[in-house]
Amino acid sequence: MIARLRGVVLEKSLQDAVVDVHGVGYRVALSLLSLARLPAEGQPAELRIHTVVREDAIELVGFLSPEEEEMFHLLTSVSHVGPKLALAVLSGLEVPDLAEALSRGDLGRLTRIHGVGKKTAERLVLELRDKAKALAAGARSVEGTAGARRDLVSALENLGYRPADAEEVADAVAGRLGAEAPFEALFREALRTLQAG
């Protein structure tokens, strides 16, 4: 199973992108919001990947953040919600807003997403309300600390570390210390990790 890709963006369309990894082009489906944030063609990119294996195809679904990937897994855990519908839902609302809508049972907001009817919205709320409450709280804290992570990556790059290494260490450190850790603690732990490795 492919879990992560790091390479160069070769092509972007409205549904997917092709990422070149050492001469092999991987077509990856992404939400519209992620496609908009994906670096331009010719630029390096790193994606979290979910591999969908079907009888007639193997498809890759990509995410730019762990929160988006977690929400995708929650959505696809609901009966009658497959990867395509989950991506449509993720294309309609940012993860914190989607988690908030699910936890509050905001059917009106959910049905405004292309491809989501009233019955699907009701099923999503029924099956995900409690899980979405936890994700909404986590998404709010991540939203508040996303700046600290971004600053950490930038600081490591300014010290001469490669962007991919800086991103990897930032993820590892945030996982160990928690999403609410202050920048200074993240930075010290990142330097310790890099020096030990």
Distance, CA of 172 to chain centre: 15
Q: Would you kindly state where each structural domain of the chain is located, as residue ranges?
A: 4-63, 66-140, 142-196
How far is the C-alpha of 97 from the C-alpha of 181, rounded, in Å? 23
Per-residue pLDDT tens digits for 59-75: 999 999 999 999 999 99
Rounded percentage of the chain residues whose pLDDT exceeds 70 = 91
Cα-based angle 51, 57, 62 (whole degrees, multiple of 5): 30
Whether residue 127 is predicted with pLDDT greater than 70 in this model: the reply is: yes
How far is the C-alpha of 16 from the C-alpha of 8, rounded, in Å? 14
Assigned CATH topology for domain 66-140? DNA polymerase; domain 1 (1.10.150)
CATH architecture of the domain covering 142-196: Orthogonal Bundle (1.10)
Per-residue pLDDT tens digits for 1-38: 899 999 999 999 989 999 999 999 999 999 998 998 89
Per-residue pLDDT tens digits for 79-103: 999 999 999 999 998 888 899 999 9
**In the prediction, which pLDDT does 147 show?**
65
Nearest one of 87, 89, 79 to 127, comparing CA atoms: 79
**Across residues 125-147, what is the average pLDDT?**
70
Assigned CATH topology for domain 4-63? OB fold (Dihydrolipoamide Acetyltransferase, E2P) (2.40.50)
